[in-house]
Amino acid sequence: MTRIEDMSETQRRAWMTLIVDVAVFLVFLRGATTDWSIDTLSAGGQTSLFIGVIIMTIILHAIIASLFEQRQRKDDITDKDERDINIERKGASYGFYFLAIFLNLIVGHIVLQNSFDNFPEATAGYDAVFDYRNTSHLVFALLSAAFIGDIIKNATMIFAYHWGRGGE
pLDDT given at position 131: 86
44 vs 35, higher pLDDT = 44
pLDDT given at position 126: 66
Q: What pLDDT digit, counting tens, does each position of 44-88 carry?
A: 999 999 999 999 999 999 999 998 888 776 555 556 788 888 999
- DSSP label of 8: -
Q: What are phi and psi of 149, to 5 degrees?
A: -60, -45
Instruction: Please compute the mean of the pLDDT values over residues 142-159 and round it to a whole number.
Output: 95
H or E segment at 38? strand 37-38
What is this structure's pTM? 0.83
pLDDT band at 2 (very low <50, low <70, confident <90, very high): low
Q: What pLDDT digit, counting tens, does each position of 107-143 carry?
A: 998 888 888 777 777 666 667 778 888 999 999 999 9
Identify whether the C-beta of residue 167 lies closer than 8 Å to the C-beta of residue 94.
no
